Amino acid sequence: MRVLHFVTGGFSGATKVAIDLVEAHNQIQSTENLLVLRRKKTTVPEKLAELEEKNVDYRVITGATHIATVQELKKLCEKWQPDILVAHGFPEHLLGRRAGLLAKVPHLVQVEHNSKERYTPWKLYQTRKLSKSTARIVAVSEGVAQVLSQQGLKAPIQAIPNGIDTARFGGAELFQVTERPKDIIMVGRYAKSKDHVTLIKALYQLKKRGINSTLTLVGSGGKRYQKEIHNLVKGYDLQNQVTFIEYSNEVEKLLLQHKIFVMSSRFEGLNLAVLEAMASGCIVVGSTAMGVKELIDDKKDGFLFPVGAAAELADIIATVLSNPSNYQALATAAREKVLVHYDKKQVTQAYYQLFQDLLTSH
């Protein structure tokens, strides 16, 4: 079985999932796997070096124009001859399936990683048309599956929730919340959908109450939005409280140092960073956005606050920081949930079974 995964080279959550699948399926002797990245500004040598360390076979193709991407991927498919082409995320699932059709790849699979994408009427027409030639559409959560079911697609839709490496996050060095020296962390790319603004506003409200909590922001992404967040931090005079880390290959260690993890997104597919924080024993606070709220049982294994509600977020953080030991049980319950339901071994096995089923049915 030869499987080609096509995904953004921006190293987003979708890229993570594709890498995990290739890495896991490489352990199966009957499977050959190729990761194809559409070049972005954040397709940097450090991240590609990590792929080489993991022995992931990859190619980087142009992202200059959509037509150029499709043509280059078509030629690569004709040369590599995959049995299955898995196109992850938007707009890559449109470009990947178009290239796969032109190259006559036997089985096309779309993986939708988000609950809200920029589907213009023309893009929606394209995805409906491509669905007629698609063997399976995979949604990364039940919420995303519900959104897809309203698009008028012709291919079968299957939900396979994303998962994480539970051995990497948390592990044997799991610290109690009270033993962690730093207060708050958020891991996420800079995009308006992640809504860092609400978190910064909440931090400022805490400062006005005399609570000078520390915040670590980990991620890269849109430079304009990143500059907006830096300016907001300066405007609120929070520079001494906020640490910016643009890229880290040791996120698991950073999570272990923090008491609270915040995900302030406006929408998601299924947020891997939330799962990583839960596995790491953080007290997780998430917005009620789709793709976040499904993961957190409010006041049982974390906290939820309304999307964009800085005051409510500040209240939750203040409550937790006033006596973190009171909420250790929530952090423990969150880790147990991830171990049982969101280990990536279950995810990779589900995808492998899907691929086997496609080949068998053919």
How many Å apart are CA 260 and CA 172, to the nearest integer? 19
Average pLDDT of 326-338? 97
Q: In this predicted model, which residue has the larger pLDDT, 267 or 307?
A: 307
Mean pLDDT over all residues of the chain?
95
pLDDT category, 362, cuts 50, 70, 90? low
Helical segments of 37-86, H only:
45-53, 66-80
Q: Is 135 exposed, middle or buried (0-12, 13-18, 19+ CB in 10 A)?
A: buried
Q: What is the CATH number of the domain that holds 206?
A: 3.40.50.2000
Q: How confident is the model at residue 247 (pLDDT cuts 50, 70, 90)?
A: confident
Local confidence band at 151 (pLDDT 50, 70, 90 cut-offs): very high
Instruction: Tell me, yes or no, whether 131 and 192 share the same domain.
Output: no
Do 159 and 208 lie in one domain? The reply is no
Render pLDDT for 107-135 as a digit per residue (tens, 0 to 9).
999 999 988 877 899 999 999 999 999 99
Reported as half-sphere exposure (CB side, CA atoms, 13 A), residue 270 has a value of 26
The percent of residues in the chain predicted with pLDDT above 70, rounded, is 99
Check whether 287 has a pLDDT greater than 90. yes
The number of beta carbons lying within 10 Å of the beta carbon of residue 126 is: 18
Same domain, 142 and 184: no
| Nearest in space to 116 (alpha carbons), one of 176, 227, 195, 21 | 195
Query: How much is the average pLDDT of 233-243?
Result: 98
Question: pLDDT band at residue 292, thresholds of 50, 70 and 90?
Answer: very high
What are the strands of the beta sheet with 242-245, ordered from one edge?
242-245, 215-218, 182-187, 258-263, 283-287, 303-305
- 105/147 same-domain check: yes
Residues 6 and 115 in one domain: yes
Residue 121: asked if its preceding bond is cis (omega within 30°), the reply is: no
Instruction: Say if CB 91 and CB 123 are below 8 A apart.
Output: yes
Residue 25, domain extent? 2-163+343-361
| Shared domain check, 179 and 32 | no
pLDDT higher than 90, residue 42: no
Q: What was the pLDDT predicted at 118?
A: 77
Neighbouring-strand partners of residue 343: 164
What pLDDT is stored for residue 116 in this prediction? 80
Band of residue 222 on the pLDDT scale cut at 50, 70, 90:
confident
| 3-state SS, residue 285 | strand
In a shared domain, residues 303 and 356? no
Domain count, the chain: 2
* Angle between helical axes of 310-322 and 196-208 (0-180°, round to 10): 60
Secondary structure of 141-166 in HEC code, one letter for each residue: CHHHHHHHCCCCCCCCEEECCCCECC
Q: How confident is the model at residue 29 (pLDDT cuts 50, 70, 90)?
A: confident
| 174-177 contact pairs (CB < 8 A, 24+) | 174/256, 174/280, 174/281, 174/335, 175/256, 175/281, 176/281, 176/325, 176/328, 177/259, 177/281, 177/282, 177/283, 177/324, 177/325, 177/327, 177/328, 177/331
pLDDT of 276 over the 80 cut: yes
Which residue is listed with tokens 């490489």? 26
Q: pLDDT digits over 227-236, tens only?
A: 999 999 999 9
Give backbone dihedrals phi and psi of 41, rounded to 5 degrees, phi first.
-60, -30
| Cβ contacts of 298 within 8 Å, gap of 6 or more | 304
Kind and range of the H or E element at 198? helix 196-208
Looking at the fold, whether 211 and 336 belong to one and the same domain comes out as: yes
Residue 129 CB partners (closer than 8 Å, separation 6+):
none
Residue range 260-279: average pLDDT? 94
Same domain, 312 and 349: no
What does the pLDDT read at residue 137? Answer: 98
Q: What is the DSSP letter of 176?
A: P
Q: Does residue 82 carry a pLDDT above 70?
A: yes
What is the pLDDT averaged over residues 81-89?
Answer: 97
Give CA 353 to chain center in angstroms.
Answer: 22
Residues 222 and 351 in one domain: no
Same domain, 326 and 210: yes
One domain, residues 333 and 349: no
